[in-house]
A and B are shown apart, each in its own frame.
Chain A
Amino acid sequence: NAGVTQTPKFRVLKTGQSMTLLCAQDMNHEYMYWYRQDPGMGLRLIHYSVGEGTTAKGEVPDGYNVSRLKKQNFLLGLESAAPSQTSVYFCASSPWTGRTEAFFGQGTRLTVV
């Protein structure tokens, strides 16, 4: 019962570096999401996907790109990291049925110095 798995769990980047966060789910869920969590601001949606090959912008998409080439994977990319992107990043997935909650990964703590 792996659920939603995020890789890596921790990362330190220098300003201007790039990286990709990987999210994998084994529950055959249609929807996948990337959130960032900052103190006092709750979870804010970066990008989401309603199915393989589709992506859409959320509340705070600037500086991030995503791809969903396979139904089970959702990648979040930072092309040129900035200190403002220091945060905890969560991936989540959910099935189509509305009464079902979002299932979350363990989170990735990213520090940009």
Chain B
Amino acid sequence: AQTVTQSQPEMSVQEAETVTLSCTYDTSESDYYLFWYKQPPSRQMILVIRQEAYKQQNATENRFSVNFQKAAKSFSLKISDSQLGDAAMYFCAYRSDPKRGNQFYFGTGTSLTVIP
């Protein structure tokens, strides 16, 4: 089984500032997919961004971007111009190529507080 590690249980950021959430994973596979999910107090799991391992270019979605370092097995999430609505639990997730496995593996989450 793959392991996903989020070493920051809690983080805080000032409104309008930038914050980076860390995620590392352990795998021997070369093809896989990585995701960041946001879970606000409503409990709903919302996809923030995805990255295919075969793509060298880092994914970007508006204020959200990733720093994908395949050799280091690192997948950090950068949130720019933080807003109060960004306050949530953030989960990093790993998915194998479906030809080899069908499971999603999740980290333990990072709780982000946005300070007005």
Chain A residues in the interface with B (C-beta under 8 A): 31, 33, 35, 40-45, 48, 50, 58-59, 88, 90, 92, 94, 96-99, 101-102, 104, 106-107
Q: Are B98 and A96 in contact (CB under 8 A)?
A: yes
Interchain CA distance A109-B46 in the complex, whole Å: 18
Number of A-B contacts (CB under 8 A): 58
Interchain CA distance A99-B50 in the complex, whole Å: 8
Interchain CA distance A94-B107 in the complex, whole Å: 19
Q: Are B33 and A99 in contact (CB under 8 A)?
A: yes
Q: Are A42 and B109 in contact (CB under 8 A)?
A: yes
24 A-B pairs with CB atoms under 8 Å apart are A31-B102, A35-B106, A41-B108, A42-B6, A42-B108, A43-B91, A45-B104, A50-B102, A88-B43, A90-B45, A92-B45, A96-B98, A98-B31, A98-B32, A98-B33, A98-B52, A98-B95, A99-B33, A99-B52, A102-B45, A102-B93, A102-B104, A104-B45, A106-B43
Q: How far is the CB of B87 from chain A (nearest CB, A)?
A: 17
Interchain CA distance A16-B32 in the complex, whole Å: 41
Given the complex, which residues of A lie within 8 Å of B96, measured CB to CB?
A: 98
Of B37, B96, B97, B108, chain A has the most CB atoms within 10 Å of the CB of: B108
Interchain CA distance A43-B104 in the complex, whole Å: 10
Contact of A101 among B44, B50, B98 (CB under 8 A): B50
Given the complex, which residues of A lie within 8 Å of B97, measured CB to CB?
A: 98
Q: Which of B30-81 contact A (CB under 8 A)?
A: 31-33, 35, 37, 43-45, 47, 50, 52
Q: How far is the CB of B45 from chain A (nearest CB, A)?
A: 4
Instruction: Answer whether residue B103 sits at the interface, using C-beta atoms and an 8 A cutoff.
Output: yes
Residue in chain B with minimal CB distance to A44: B106
Q: What per-residue 1/0 map shows which CB atoms of B83-111 lie under 8 Å from chain A?
A: 00000000101011110001111111100
From known contacts A101-B47, A104-B45, A106-B44, infer whether A94 and B104 are also in contact, taking CB-CB under 8 Å. Answer: yes
Q: How far is the CB of B43 from chain A (nearest CB, A)?
A: 5
Of A35, A43, A94, chain B has the most CB atoms within 10 Å of the CB of: A43
Residue in chain A with minimal CB distance to B104: A102
Interchain CA distance A97-B91 in the complex, whole Å: 21
Given the complex, which residues of A lie within 8 Å of B37, measured CB to CB?
A: 101
